[in-house]
Amino acid sequence: MTGPTGILSASRRTDIPGWYTPWFLNRIEKGYFIVTNPFNRQSRRVDSTPKDIHTIVFWSKNYGPFLDLDAHKILSRKGFHLFFNFTINTPVKALEPGLPDLPERLGQVRRIARHVSPAQVAWRFDPICFWEKSGGEFNNLDAFEYIAGQLSQMGIKQCITSFYDPYKKVTARIKRLTKPGTPMLKFIDPGMARKAKIIRSMAKSLNPLGMDLFLCCEKELMDAAGLHRFASHNSCINGRLYKTLFGGNPETRGDYGQRRKKGCQCTKSFDIGSYEDQPCFHNCLFCYARTGLDITKPSMG
């Protein structure tokens, strides 16, 4: 017997721990998910018992509802291995208006790390954003060192980052949410040299804390700026790591449905979220996953 090999991703497409934990636990009880491909709309069944799934990888900016339901304890008792991708950025309300305050989110990391292990938590400081408004330039880097220091005390060893990628839907969202006659926020590209300087500075800050820096889908930057001494390509879904952490035989083949040419090192998984049916209401301004349903964000004026 080889044991379970599947990896469940919950989810790149929405924040399941933040908004849909009851639904997720219900489907775990039933033993399967029905997943619809967002591109071709074809549906498939994904079996989700401990006999099928080696590791469940969660993605969230707010694990509060998940922890309040003791979902981590329920799933662990059922025999699932758990890994947590936790995005914690500088608390700029204009960018991420729907999130709890930073101290509350840091407390959530502490609760997770105590129940499982710090090795089962990856910190995502993602994306790094630069923008212009009212003639001034801004970024969301100011609390990076503070967050890193807090997380290092909890035993977190991994920091993942990338720079904002432009999306037409984000530009349209900003235009829609800006009141007539008020300045409009505009995301800007700081340029390759400046990005490289930032990554070197981040790595320098993390090194004495015993934290390693990883870049998500930033191959062009890594290669052009010679950053391989300071950071590594990341696998947000990493079957090789889960094998080291938990043993067994999780899937370790590359996921060629992801952005491999951009440097994505993820291994194969089943993503069970939905852009359309499970919209996220954290209302992050830069989010690529939001759909036409994101009409609840307050005005930016």
Residue 221: give the domain boundaries: 6-127+142-163+191-271
- 209 by Cβ neighbours in 10 Å (0-12 / 13-18 / 19+) ranks as middle
Whether 214 maps to a domain, the answer reads yes
pLDDT tens-digit profile, the chain (301 residues): 589 999 999 999 999 999 999 999 999 999 999 999 877 889 999 999 999 999 999 999 999 999 999 999 999 999 999 999 999 999 999 999 999 999 999 999 999 999 999 999 999 999 999 999 999 999 999 999 999 999 999 999 999 999 999 988 898 889 888 889 899 999 999 999 999 999 999 999 999 999 999 999 999 999 999 999 999 999 999 999 999 999 999 999 999 889 999 999 999 999 999 998 999 999 999 998 865 445 454 333 3
The whole-number pLDDT of residue 56 equals 98
Q: Taking Cα atoms as reference points, which of 263, 292, 32 lies closest to residue 161?
A: 263
Report d(CA 105, CA 119) in Å as an integer.
18
Is residue 37 domain-resident?
Answer: yes
Q: What is the pLDDT of residue 14?
A: 96
Quick check: is 20 in a domain?
yes
Tell whether 157 is covered by a domain.
yes
- Please tell me the predicted confidence (pLDDT) of residue 29: 98
**What's the whole-model pTM score?**
0.94
pLDDT of the residue at 213: 98
pLDDT computed for residue 294 by the predictor? 52
Q: What is the DSSP letter of 208?
A: G
The pLDDT value given to residue 301: 34
pLDDT for the residue 255: 95
Q: 116 lies in a domain?
A: yes
Q: Is residue 248 part of a domain?
A: yes
What CATH number does the domain containing 41 carry? 3.20.20
User: CB of 290 within 8 A of CB of 169?
Assistant: yes
What is the C-alpha to C-alpha distance for residues 36 and 19, in angstroms, rounded to an integer? 19
Domain count, the chain: 1
**Would residue 279 count as lying in a domain?**
no
* The two structure tokens encoding residue 143: 């609390």
The answer to whether residue 278 sits within a structural domain is no
